[in-house]
Amino acid sequence: MSSEAPTPVLRGCIKLPLAEDELLEITAKAKDYALMHGAAMRSKTTFSPDTLNFAPFLLVPSSFPRKEFEKAVALQPIINRLMHNVAHDEEFITTTLAETIKVDEFTANLFNIYRKVLAHGFTQRVSLGMLRSDLMLESDCPELSMKILQQQQQRQQNEDATVAAAAAKDKEEMVAMEAADVKAEICFNQATTKFKPKTKCKDRHANVKQSAYCCWKQVEINTIASGFGHLGPASKTIQSFVLSELGHAEKLKNMPKNNALAGLCDGMVKAWDIYGKPNAVILFIIEDVSYNICDQRFHEFYIRETYPHIKVLRRTLTEVHREGKLGLSKELLLGPHEVAVIYFRAGYEPGHYHSQNEWDARYLMETSLAIKSPSIQYHLAGTKKVQQALAQPSVLERFINDPEEIKAVGKIFTGLYSLDDNDAGNASYEMALRTPEKFVLKPQREGGGNNVYGVDIPDALKRMTRVERSAWILMDLIHPPLTKGYMVRPGGEMPPPIVDMVSELGIFGVVIGDADNIVHNYQAGHMLRTKLSTANEGGVAAGLGALDSPYLIDSDNED
Ligand code: ADP
Ligand code: MG
């Protein structure tokens, strides 16, 4: 946290701490519940294909502002359309990634496939987008702080006996605000004694408490291997059970329903229908070892249970290279099977491509008739560099027509800065060296563990050449409010201690269409991951985060 003000805390869903006996009993029961409902993973330390550990989870759900949750859900179809349009804008993708691919070999390899596919024409014009927009609450949110300022102002005016006394006090406040040196987007207007938006005024933290009930900013948008379609809903199941066991069944109504698994799998089946061959299969591209196995098998099981005639195959890139070939109409053939839909749960990081063979397999699939999630253009549209380009003024207008939608999407971006070798990029570089604690530095990678945070940024940047910097982007650090709760981990302390945490919400979206038409576009459930407030990243599979689900609250101080 870069802010000097104490981080606000979201009020909890139930009163903590629990009595130790009760906590021990419910934690043991919840672990079993998690295991027996597939909220589980393979162990990385003692791997066996025959055993599972429960996945780390939060005993009770973490609070999340209802209005902000609903806003994120409502916005998802617009974000889906935006990403679909970006993926189909050859000029935008090419220009945006031009500098990056000079230095980032992985993105360059993806881009080469894109270029080759473009040159030969797309065999399959339809793409299946299974997206996840990740976001965090921003307690530094200027709009909400303005409301707090207004409330404080109102209270103050009521208390002051005379207008003169109030004015004197206001003036004092303003002097204090100006003494501090942090940007804010609100300023005091002396003449009207009203607060009005204005750019660049001084530190509101000197006077104003931040709100825990705050707005959110997008962390990133995922277009490949958007996980937790099963673990998202599974977290809700565990926590609903726990709340009921603890005598809080009346609280379940504040946990929004979550149909992520069905939403995503139905998306695959809609694409399978478009492909239109009754015997064709759905292919999952998987890692050599799938630790996050439940979050893939439950998709497969859901499809078989809901659509008994559809088969799912699982293959690594290496296996596709060995077994795959194209038929006469460029259909992808794996032994006796024709593939209708490819769902990539691997292929998003260099480690998944052991040799040219895996790149050849990716190209083979890209040139095939199968409908891909993602197609190569969707994969490239999900790069951090594209996210950074979309956050620049006026860029959204290229992809969205409705001015209200442009405004709504524009608000979700926090500061995102290019580090290209030009004036703007060099200015971002200088800014990062001056105040690194305000930023996170990101390469074009997915899957966690690749970013550089705060004070580590200057050293990382100084090790790069000017040209190498263009493979990275700089982003304002988001400051989510804290929640307090029990994080339950395999082999963790029993009973678990109360810890300070922060959460990241992911909203799933499905979009299917080609360059001219979108035929399906919907929001498809959500997932919440929560990590210790001291951790930079919160990947659950990486061992830092824990499964969670949102408990919707209506204000900072209700109940
Ligand atoms: P990846 O593609 O590796 O998942 P992300 O951009 O999602 O990369 O970053 C990984 C994690 O780092 C996020 O899940 C979040 O916990 C943290 N993070 C990323 N960007 C920010 C940010 N701007 N402010 C605060 N935390 C961030
Ligand atoms: Mg991420």
pLDDT-derived band at 539, boundaries 50, 70, 90: confident
Q: Within a 13 Å sphere around the CA of 43, how many CA atoms are in the beta-carbon half?
A: 13
Distance 54 CA to ligand 1 centre (A): 24
Tell me, what's the pLDDT at 151? 58
Tell me, what's the pLDDT at 211? 75
Task: For residue range 212-238, list pLDDT tens digits in order.
Answer: 788 999 999 999 999 999 999 999 999
More reliable by pLDDT, 166 or 419: 419
Helix (H, G, I), strand (E, B) or coil at 465: coil
Distance 226 CA to ligand 2 centre (A): 9
For 287-352, strand residue ranges (E) read 312-316, 324-326, 332-334, 337-344
- The rounded distance, in Å, linking the Cα atoms of 102 and 87 is 20
More reliable by pLDDT, 281 or 198: 281
DSSP string, 141-178: -HHHHHHHHHHHHHHHHHH-SSHHHHHHHHHHHHHHHH
- Which ligand gives the minimal distance to the CA of 388? 1
pLDDT-derived band at 536, boundaries 50, 70, 90: confident
Distance 320 CA to ligand 1 centre (A): 31
At residue 180, does pLDDT exceed 70?
A: no
Residue 296 CA to its chain's centroid (Å): 19
CA distances from 42 to 54, 228, 541, 546 (A): 9, 15, 9, 15
- Which ligand gives the minimal distance to the CA of 474? 1
The residues facing 9 across adjacent strands are 482
Does the reported pTM lie above 0.85? yes
* Mean pLDDT, range 314-327, rounded to an integer: 98
At residue 146, does pLDDT exceed 60?
A: no
The residues facing 133 across adjacent strands are 221, 507
At residue 200, does pLDDT exceed 60?
A: no
* Mean pLDDT, range 428-452, rounded to an integer: 96
Least reliable range by pLDDT among 50-64, 140-154, 244-258, 494-508: 140-154
Fold of 415-477: Dna Ligase; domain 1 (3.30.1490)
Domain ranges of the chain: 20-143+213-414+478-553, 415-477
Q: Closest Cα to atom 15, ligand 1: which residue?
A: 537
User: Radius of gyration of the chain from Cα atoms?
Assistant: 25
pLDDT-derived band at 107, boundaries 50, 70, 90: very high
On average, the pLDDT of the chain sits at: 89
> How many CB atoms sit inside 10 A of residue 430's CB?
10
Task: For residue range 342-363, list pLDDT tens digits in order.
Answer: 999 999 999 999 999 999 999 9
Residues with beta carbon inside 6 Å of ligand 1?
A: 134, 219-220, 440, 442, 445-448, 450-451, 475, 477-478, 504, 537-538
Q: Closest Cα to atom 17, ligand 1: which residue?
A: 537
At residue 301, does pLDDT exceed 90?
A: yes
pLDDT-derived band at 543, boundaries 50, 70, 90: low
DSSP string, 349-395: SGGG--SHHHHHHHHHHHHSSSEEET-HHHHHHTSHHHHHHHTSTTT
Q: CB-based burial of residue 238 (10 Å sphere; 0-12 exposed, 13-18 middle, 19+ buried)?
A: buried
* Mean pLDDT, range 30-56, rounded to an integer: 96
